[in-house]
Chains A and B, each alone.
Chain A
Amino acid sequence: MALVRVISSDGAAFLVSQRLAKRSGKLKTEIETFRKSSDNSEAQPEIRIVTIRAEILRLVLQWLQQHQNDPVLPANQNEQDGRGDAEMGQSQWDRDFLAPMDLGIVMELILAANHLEVKGLLDITCKLVESKITGRTVDEIRTAFKLKSDFKGNEEEQTRLENRWCVEN
């Protein structure tokens, strides 16, 4: 089985099958570039991901492992033909996978999924953040995201007024 060594920003190396790695658009490109530039067809590619630390990279690879037999979603799939997959394709495994994560980890996972071009993971993580917003009040969102209002004077009231007529009608 052909393998590829993927190295995180903090130096941790993950040895994974090329078949699995190629489910990431970014890793696939890197592997193919390595193949074209290498004289030795048996050489093992080594890919350094300088923006993703080990804990997050491990989670991405874990997700890829679980979904290795899923159809690959095109990276540019848009709202019309792609939306809904995040919900429809979210398995119990996905829910269990995401459940223990705090928001900071999820945000890093979004960045990593975007960087590595893993559309399915990007969809479910964005959807997870969206679910922490939808249906909540302003105060509930601030609590969930550990935020304080930084509006000054009547800025918040002004924003509320901007929204009011749209909502009421």
Chain B
Amino acid sequence: MDQSKRRDDPFKDLPPEMSFEIFSYLNKESFLVTRRVSKNWKFLADSSRKLSFTCDLTDATISTVVNSKEVISCVRIHDFLGGSKHVVSGTRGIGRVLSAADSIQLIGRSINGAEVGKMMKFAAGSLKEIWFQGCHSSLIRPMFNFGKPFECLRKLTISFNILPTHQEAHFLQTLSSPFVAPQLRTLEHLKVIYELVEHEAVVNYPSAEEIFSNYMALAHLLLRYGTSLKNVEIVRNDEVRNAIIDHVKTEALQFSEVQLDELQECEEGLREIQLDSYHTNVLGDEGEFPWILEMSLLQSQNNLKELFFENERCFIDQIPHQPFPFLLSNNPEHLTKINMSLSISPGHEPINLAAFSQCPVLKVLWLEFYLGVSTGVQTINYIGFENLEQLPKTIKSFHLKPRHEDTYSIHHLTRDQVRWIAANLKGLESIWLQLFLTIPAVDQVGAESHSNFDVPTFMELTSGLALKDFNFDILKVVQFGNRLEVGVDNNLNPLVFMELISLEDVREYVRICEGKYGRIVVNRNEEDRVRRVRIAVAATNRN
């Protein structure tokens, strides 16, 4: 190291991981002191670890987290922790801790609402976010009903880790009750999460009525806070969706006149809600769930800026006139961010991307297509695209990302399309593509290569001045005339095992990247190792 180049702060010459190594020796008090030395030290300290420790205040167990990125203080209140028999009880001390926190996370069914209510008196004026995680509805009313509004509360997150039953519906109903709603006048962001770890482990499935009542409770919650809401997230993981779709006989539901009126009322009410951002993992299509109202909410949007949409059961190729849900909103031209995950049928037509030309200010476009059903022997599902050149040139982040669980679907851009991206999306900051290295079959030597990229295109792709991160999944395929096969073994084994092919080709591309970004880690994790090599670069590696 040239000593003359050394700057004042010795930590500035160290790679971050070395600074983290040093900070990792520090005890809590010293660690906190480092945050006050200088901006660089504070940055390094906050990046090095999440400071998490437990305070035993009277008989409560509280763990505090100083979040490394946002300088927020999140206080977690557990009902029981580490086998303790103590129920959280409210004290002035805990209230004081809460008053210094931006957010609290309440975890577990046995938290005593009355006790938490005592603490909330101290925290109501400053809390920005509350997260209920697997809590009981008895917690809510005393927590909010002490006559003091939550003047800063912007975000409410409710997560359930079981299939929705009447109890969960009651939780949502209580949150939209007249006792609670006036305290949450500033609520802008509502996030409701349903997730299961493994639906095969479920013993008792809820009835269709329970699913319906839960759904209506969710709709009423949206209606209650509709005037202040800007962001709505309804998240269901695959396990929840599969469990409900496969095990709950929703088609047997018979609606009364009252319920039908209620449905209509909700649908009309949801049309009044105007959001900036909408995130939904739709439960199913309208054929299976005619009372699904989430599409009504989408259809009513006039000024939506961000859309995250996932639908496992709706095949875009079966709705050719309106394959992309963002078209359902009234003014897709305001959209700046679209993240969609949609299923397709085997043997589908190329996906037409022309619709995105209606989004002239689009900055982020992440698309993920996957096989909604599998039929017989798995073969590689090439997903082709057309009218890619109609994508807005304002795009800064473009991902055609393979779905983790569906390793048989490949987003297959042609060489011309990859060239178009390199030549036209000049402001790209982030990109994720699947690139093909083709080798001709024995009887095809000398034929034109169908690799969808070559060295000049690759260099152009990675030369964008703004590019901060990229992921390229490089697949080796064998070419039979115009036909490509990932792997060749009479289709019995559609995969090329990476152990059997030379990585020299890949190395060349790694070298190109390393010329610009420094050391590159080539990722071949267990899931992917059989048929692709991923070159991934994050901004931190950039020189």
Residues of chain A touching chain B, judged by Cβ–Cβ distance below 8 Å, are: 9, 51-53, 56, 79, 83, 86, 103-104, 107-108, 110-111, 114, 122, 126-127, 129-130, 133-138, 141-142, 145-151, 155-156, 159-167, 169
Quote the shortest CB–CB distance from A123 to chain B (angstroms).
Answer: 9
Central interface residue in B11, B23, B28, B37, by most chain A CB within 10 Å: B37
What A residues does B55 contact at CB under 8 A?
169
What A residues does B66 contact at CB under 8 A?
162, 166
> How many residues of B are counted as interface, with CB atoms below 8 angstroms from the partner's CB atoms?
45
Query: Does B14 interact with chain A (Cβ within 8 Å)?
Result: yes
Q: Are B24 and A79 in contact (CB-based, < 8 A)? A: yes
Q: Which of B24, B33, B41, B73 contacts A137 (CB 8 A)?
A: B33
A83 CA / B25 CA spacing, docked (Å): 8
Query: Does B100 interact with chain A (Cβ within 8 Å)?
Result: yes
Q: Are B21 and A145 in contact (CB-based, < 8 A)? A: no
Quote the shortest CB–CB distance from B321 to chain A (angstroms).
Answer: 54
Quote the shortest CB–CB distance from B30 to chain A (angstroms).
Answer: 5
Q: Are A145 and B9 in contact (CB-based, < 8 A)? A: yes
What A residues does B25 contact at CB under 8 A?
83, 86, 126-127, 130, 134
Quote the shortest CB–CB distance from B199 to chain A (angstroms).
Answer: 35
Q: Are B10 and A104 in contact (CB-based, < 8 A)? A: yes
What A residues does B37 contact at CB under 8 A?
138, 141-142, 145, 147, 149
What A residues does B29 contact at CB under 8 A?
167
What B residues does A9 contact at CB under 8 A?
1
Which residue of chain A has the shortest Cβ distance to B40 in the bound complex?
Answer: A150
Which residue of chain B has the shortest Cβ distance to A79 in the bound complex?
Answer: B24
In B8-22, which residues have CB < 8 Å from any A CB? 8-11, 13-15, 18, 21-22
Query: Does B457 interact with chain A (Cβ within 8 Å)?
Result: no
What B residues does A165 contact at CB under 8 A?
73, 96-97, 100
Quote the shortest CB–CB distance from A162 to chain B (angstroms).
Answer: 6
Q: Are A134 and B26 in contact (CB-based, < 8 A)? A: yes
Q: Are B22 and A51 in contact (CB-based, < 8 A)? A: no
A79 CA / B20 CA spacing, docked (Å): 12
Q: Are B22 and A130 in contact (CB-based, < 8 A)? A: yes
Which residue of chain A has the shortest Cβ distance to B51 in the bound complex?
Answer: A166
A169 CA / B37 CA spacing, docked (Å): 22
A160 CA / B35 CA spacing, docked (Å): 8
Q: Are B64 and A166 in contact (CB-based, < 8 A)? A: yes
Central interface residue in B22, B36, B51, B100, by most chain A CB within 10 Å: B36
What B residues does A107 contact at CB under 8 A?
10-11, 13-14
Q: Which of A53, A133, A151, A167 contacts B1 (CB 8 A)?
A: A53
Query: Does B57 interact with chain A (Cβ within 8 Å)?
Result: yes
Query: Does B71 interact with chain A (Cβ within 8 Å)?
Result: yes
Residues of chain B touching chain A, judged by Cβ–Cβ distance below 8 Å, are: 1-3, 6, 8-11, 13-15, 18, 21-30, 32-42, 51, 53, 55, 57, 64, 66, 71, 73, 93, 96-97, 100
What A residues does B9 contact at CB under 8 A?
145, 147
Quote the shortest CB–CB distance from B5 to chain A (angstroms).
Answer: 11
Q: Are B14 and A134 in contact (CB-based, < 8 A)? A: no
What B residues does A122 contact at CB under 8 A?
21
The secondary-structure label for the interface of chain A is: helix
Take A166-B51, A167-B32 as given contacts and tell me if A147 and B38 are in contact as well, using a CB distance cutoff of 8 Å: yes
Which residue of chain B has the shortest Cβ distance to A138 in the bound complex?
Answer: B36
Take A110-B18, A169-B57 as given contacts and tell me if A141 and B33 are in contact as well, using a CB distance cutoff of 8 Å: yes
15 A-B residue pairs with CB within 8 Å = A51-B1, A56-B1, A111-B1, A111-B18, A127-B25, A130-B22, A133-B22, A138-B33, A145-B10, A147-B37, A149-B38, A150-B38, A150-B39, A150-B40, A156-B36
Central interface residue in A79, A103, A138, A155, by most chain B CB within 10 Å: A138
What A residues does B57 contact at CB under 8 A?
169
What A residues does B32 contact at CB under 8 A?
163, 166-167
Which residue of chain B has the shortest Cβ distance to A160 in the bound complex?
Answer: B36
What A residues does B100 contact at CB under 8 A?
161, 164-165
A130 CA / B26 CA spacing, docked (Å): 7
A110 CA / B97 CA spacing, docked (Å): 39
Q: Are B42 and A159 in contact (CB-based, < 8 A)? A: yes
Quote the shortest CB–CB distance from A49 to chain B (angstroms).
Answer: 11
What A residues does B96 contact at CB under 8 A?
165
What A residues does B30 contact at CB under 8 A?
133-136
What A residues does B97 contact at CB under 8 A?
165, 169
Quote the shortest CB–CB distance from A153 to chain B (angstroms).
Answer: 12
Which residue of chain A has the shortest Cβ distance to B32 in the bound complex?
Answer: A163
Central interface residue in B33, B34, B57, B93, by most chain A CB within 10 Å: B33
A35 CA / B11 CA spacing, docked (Å): 37
Which residue of chain A has the shortest Cβ distance to B53 in the bound complex?
Answer: A166
What A residues does B53 contact at CB under 8 A?
166
Q: Are A133 and B34 in contact (CB-based, < 8 A)? A: yes
A130 CA / B488 CA spacing, docked (Å): 57
Quote the shortest CB–CB distance from A65 to chain B (angstroms).
Answer: 22
Take A133-B34, A134-B30 as given contacts and tell me if A111 and B13 are in contact as well, using a CB distance cutoff of 8 Å: yes
A145 CA / B26 CA spacing, docked (Å): 16
Take A127-B25, A147-B9 as given contacts and tell me if A136 and B33 are in contact as well, using a CB distance cutoff of 8 Å: yes
A79 CA / B21 CA spacing, docked (Å): 10
Quote the shortest CB–CB distance from A83 to chain B (angstroms).
Answer: 8
A163 CA / B96 CA spacing, docked (Å): 14
A146 CA / B9 CA spacing, docked (Å): 8
Q: Are B14 and A111 in contact (CB-based, < 8 A)? A: yes
